[in-house]
Amino acid sequence: MKFGIHSMVWVGDWSPEHARHAIASTAEAGYDLIELAAIDPADFDVDLTAKLLAEHGIAATASLGLDAATDVSSEDPEVVAAGRARLRDALALVRDTGGTHLCGVIYSALRKYDRPVTERGLANSHETIAALADEAAASDITIALEFCNRYETNVLNTTAQTLEFIEAVGRPNVMAHLDTYHMNIEEVSMSEPVLAAAAAGRLGYVHIGESHRGAPGTGSILWDDFFGALASSGYDGVVTFESFSSAVVHPSFSNTLAIWRNLWTDNRKLATGALTFMRSHLRG
């Protein structure tokens, strides 16, 4: 099992200075991995990022949420094409930094919709993920689909929907990405979805996020249920801590996720505390 941390716990962009700070801080806090926030993969200095990861002995994954102009669940062919181009750029970032997973809301835009996804839009999303998975397989990269709450996507809101989507795509390297923040909103249990994804052989990535997106253990999530199921399922993949504060997170991302207040100010204390929390629960 590898313990990771989202890069936006440390920084709001990926300038050379911030890249050095985020990767060094990840190593100093005791994590194995950093999840790169690839909102715009073109913003990354890939060579520098790969060099810093190697220097500090840190692995990487990458995540992103598409926007309205790159929504692959759109019916507009030009919008879908733009989304597919961005996903290919993100996949190249993962590949060229030696990463293992591309995850997040990569099957639709990360935004509130005012209507259900259409049949054509869902088919576009299926086709996009299938093609992306085929390209990812050549570099042994896993595609992990993060279902989100109803206010952030209209395509995948639950584990069951995600497993159905994966079945439709039909690619062995497409997995379910479970996030406790979203599970706490949409699921009826914090344990059953974990066991269902594991039983299907599709539990591929985990985000640890508290009910208010702050420090784990300070909200309302039933952590014993979740971690108990994760342990009993035999999961040994990536477990990444994710938390956002408006003092740090990228401005556009902050608005998208409705991060209107500072949930914390000391990110080093937050990061070390979260790692202790995750390790202690999984050992228990």
Active site annotation includes 242: yes
Active site annotation includes 164: no
Cα separation values, 220 from 80, 190, 224, 257, 265, Å? 38, 12, 12, 19, 21
Torsion angle of C-alpha atoms 122, 127, 130, 134, degrees rounded to 10? -160
Instruction: State the DSSP H helix or E strand holding residue 206, giving kind and residue range, or none if neither.
Output: strand 203-208
DSSP string for residues in 62-105: EEEEE-GGG-TTSS-HHHHHHHHHHHHHHHHHHHHTT--EEEEE
- Residue among 146, 152, 187, 210 flagged as catalytic: 146
Q: Which amino acid is at 209?
A: G
Q: How far apart are the first and last CA of the chain?
A: 15
Radius of gyration of the chain from Cα atoms?
A: 17
Q: Which amino acid is at 203?
A: L
User: How far apart, in whole angstroms, are the C-alpha atoms of residue 50 and residue 2?
Assistant: 18
- Residue among 35, 152, 210, 242 flagged as catalytic: 242
Q: Using an 8 Å Cβ cutoff, are 216 and 206 in contact?
A: no
- Residue 28 is encoded by which pair of tokens? 């100093």
Show the CA angle centred on residue 114, arms to residues 212 and 251, nearest 5°: 45
Positions annotated as catalytic residues are 146, 242
